[in-house]
Chains A and B, each alone.
Chain A
Amino acid sequence: MTYHNPPTTPRKSWTFDDYTLSEIRRAAATGIYDIRGGGAKRRVPHFDDLLFLGASVSRYPLEGYREKCSTSVTLGTRFAKKPIELKIPITIAGMSFGALSAQAKEALGRGASIAGTSTTTGDGGMTPEERGQSKTLVYQYLPSRYGMNPDDLRKADAIEVVIGQGAKPGGGGMLLGQKISDRVAEMRNLPKGIDQRSACRHPDWTGPDDLEIKILELREITDWEKPIYVKIGATRPYYDVALAVKAGADVVVIDGMQGGTAATQEVFIEHVGIPTLACIRPAVQALQDLGMHRKVQLIVSGGIRTGADAAKALALGADAVSIGIAALVALGDNDPRHEAEYNALGTTAGSYDDWHEGRDPAGISTQDPELSQRLDPVLAGRRLANYLKVMTLEIQTVARAAGHNNVHNLEPEDLCALTLEAAAMARVPLAGTSWIPGVQGSL
């Protein structure tokens, strides 16, 4: 009788998983860090880890198809002579012409306008297509100041001073040479075909005291008409929001680490900044401590995908949410119908994130005329409007179920958490308990 050692199953390392190994090999072969678009792909505590407590004996619900549930929101009521009125509490985040095709920017404007909400320019200035198709347009004031001019500032409905974004708090931008067409180069006042770096700090101010003066200047230039937003990447939300309010912001936009970028280093996207879920309560706390909650509006972005996500953000104290990646997917980004072309680029539908290379088969993150033509701005705009409609209906459905006739009446008491992490971050009790980790005392 012979003895055979029983074979063991080949075991892969959890620490050195397939992705990690491939990244080490890629780094060894190229000598350069990985650059990609999108937001954090790792799993972090998110809105999926929260649940709504529908009405029951202690609260009564509203009838879904008969009783009104308001969704409108007014932004910029603190100082601006002309605050923005939106029909829905979902806005379109800043994405640049340059990173996106002119057709994609136009489609975003069309979709947002049908839905009654705003869209936002990006690093690279305002295009006539975008202004023409966007009923309400927020003009970003960025460190690069590409295309910045007082005429466009006055054409805008609001101004968003961008200090950071969730994908790369503390980082600047990069538009690689292959996406610099004649038009992009002209708008940015740089030679065609070179890599365009966007600075990480504003050129003419540093710190919150300077920001206050910068906001004063922007208000003076626009005769105090426009709401001024301050957008920050989520890192130290309590203090950053408090300082933005102190500096005079009408609206604070806070963007978590799942928020997308057109292009930055993988190490930045996955390792700098905090999850969206973790930033909302400290941000709201800062506003409450200053007596400014609902007076300075809070917009939350980063990984918002559904009406449920939006409703949870509102319940935690946001006045509105903002979407970027989800809006691009609604236009047609990463659609499986382009699978063969994604495969040719070495990826698959749903994973394509080399937006900086400008070869997007969906015609969205590209400046290639042929690829760009694939996106019909009218049809794509309609898809975005449909998607925003669904999100809004979902928010209303949840709000009515919780007994609210206004989506802004959603509150933390409507929520519970599925995990300890989410309970601690959202400051709501673990489901079935009265325990909020990190919060002292009884409820």
Chain B
Amino acid sequence: MVEHFKMRTVDLAATPLRDLNADLHRQGDGSNETRWEVLNPRGAHAVAVGVDAPLAIDVRGSVGYYCAGMNKKAAITVHGSAGPGVAENMMSGTVVVKGDASQYAGATGRGGLLVVEGNASSRCGISMKGIDIVVKGSIGHMSAFMAQSGTLVVLGDAGDALGDSIYEARLFVRGKVKSLGADCIEKEMRDEHHALLAGLLDKAGVSGVATTEFTRYGSARKLYTFNIDNADAY
């Protein structure tokens, strides 16, 4: 009989990081080791990076830089806080941070869903390229800088210069925005935006919050082609 849900537990207090990641990389779509638990991460960097299989990975504690970097297909949950660049360049799958996330959360992400249950620091979603990010708390300054595509949802407040030099990414903020960056403007919430936002809130496990409580922000598209008369904007 095939054992479908074999649980693997890796204790980083005893197992080198390199062995953990190499083991995770050996798993393919048909792996029967689909559930993983990582113990004692103790702020280690690059935990569960480059995973390319539909695994469920629970990291029991806080992690350092780049946890779940370039993730494909896996559902990774950090039961603690995450250092800089959590889920950077994620391609697909889901990453959930139960605590707070440091700078650059979801940077350059190209797909999948990142949920931060606490707050995210500065430059959340910087240069995002298709990822969806839901932050249940607030985000820091320069978030969604040069954001190309994807959606950033913030249930709390946003810091200075939100969406500076933004391209086609969509931003939804429920609280206050301290200031908007160059070429980022408030936009109308049409039906499709309410539907998009509702879907993301649902996926992120947010209930009891109406999409009408959010404001949408996006690009004024005035800086898309260089024009000397816009030089003061930078």
Contacts and interface: CB of A to CB of B under 8 A. Distances in A.
Interface stretch (A113-121, A211-219, A408-416): A211-219
Interface string B53-82: 000000000001110011010000000000
Given A177-B225, A203-B123, A221 B69 contact: yes
Nearest to A212: B45
Interface string A12-54: 0000000000000000001110000000000000000000000
Contacts of A177: 224-225
Contact of A220 (B46, B130, B165): B46
Contacts of A217: 45-46, 49, 65-66, 69, 85
Contacts of B149: 189
B129 A189 contact: yes
A11 to B, nearest CB: 35
Given A150-B72, A203-B126, A221-B50, A214 B66 contact: yes
B7 to A, nearest CB: 23
A203 B69 CA distance: 13
B17 interface: yes
A195 interface: yes
Nearest to B70: A150
B151 interface: no
A205 B45 CA distance: 13
A220 B108 contact: no
A184 interface: no
Contacts of A190: 148, 167-168
A197 B146 contact: yes
B138 interface: no
A217 B146 CA distance: 23
Contacts of B104: 203-205
A425 B225 CA distance: 42
Interface stretch (A141-149, A313-321, A372-380): A141-149
B110 interface: yes
A223 B130 CA distance: 26
Contacts of B64: 213
Given A205-B84, A213-B46, A145 B89 contact: yes
Interface string B99-139: 00001100110100000000000010011011000000000
B91 interface: yes
B39 to A, nearest CB: 18
Contact of B127 (A145, A176, A224): A145
Contact of B65 (A150, A189, A213): A213
Contacts of B89: 145, 148-150
Contacts of A191: 167-168, 224
A150 B225 contact: no
Interface string A204-236: 110000100110110011111000000000000
Contacts, number: 108
B203 interface: no
Contacts of A203: 104, 107-108, 123, 126-127, 145-146
Contacts of A153: 50, 70
Contacts of A145: 89, 108, 127, 129
Given A204-B85, A213-B65, A223-B25, A150 B91 contact: yes
A195 B226 contact: yes
Interface string A169-211: 0000010110000000000111100110101000111000010
B228 A204 contact: no
Contact of A32 (B49, B108, B123, B228): B228
B146 A224 contact: no
Contacts of A150: 50, 52, 70, 72, 89, 91
B211 interface: no
Q: Is chain A's binding surface mostly helix, strand, loop or mixed?
A: loop
Contact of B84 (A149, A204, A223): A204
B179 interface: no
A295 B217 CA distance: 51
Contact of B110 (A174, A189, A216): A189
Contacts of A149: 70, 89, 91, 110
Contacts of A220: 17-18, 21, 46, 49-50
A30 B25 CA distance: 54
A214 B46 CA distance: 8
Contacts of A210: 65, 84
A149 B110 CA distance: 9
A32 B108 CA distance: 31
* Residue with the greatest number of chain B CB neighbours at <10 A, chosen from A31, A150, A191, A199: A150
A195 B167 CA distance: 11
Contacts of B165: 197
Contacts of A148: 89, 108, 110
Contacts of B127: 144-145, 199, 203
B209 interface: no
Interface string B191-234: 00000000000000000000000000000000011101000000
A23 B91 CA distance: 46
Nearest to A176: B226
Sort A-B residue pairs by CB-CB distance and give the 4 closest, nearest first.
A221-B50, A204-B104, A194-B224, A204-B85
Interface of B: 17-18, 21-22, 25, 45-46, 49-50, 52, 64-66, 69-70, 72, 84-85, 88-89, 91, 103-104, 107-108, 110, 123, 126-127, 129-130, 145-146, 148-149, 165, 167-168, 224-226, 228
Given A177-B224, A203-B104, A213-B65, 14 more contacts: A148-B89, A149-B89, A150-B70, A150-B89, A150-B91, A176-B226, A189-B110, A189-B149, A195-B226, A197-B146, A199-B146, A217-B45, A220-B49, A221-B70
Interface of A: 30-32, 144-145, 148-150, 153, 174, 176-177, 188-191, 194-195, 197, 199, 203-205, 210, 213-214, 216-217, 220-224
20 contacts: A30-B228, A32-B226, A144-B127, A145-B129, A176-B226, A177-B224, A189-B110, A189-B129, A190-B168, A191-B224, A194-B167, A194-B224, A203-B107, A203-B108, A203-B127, A204-B66, A214-B66, A221-B46, A221-B49, A223-B25
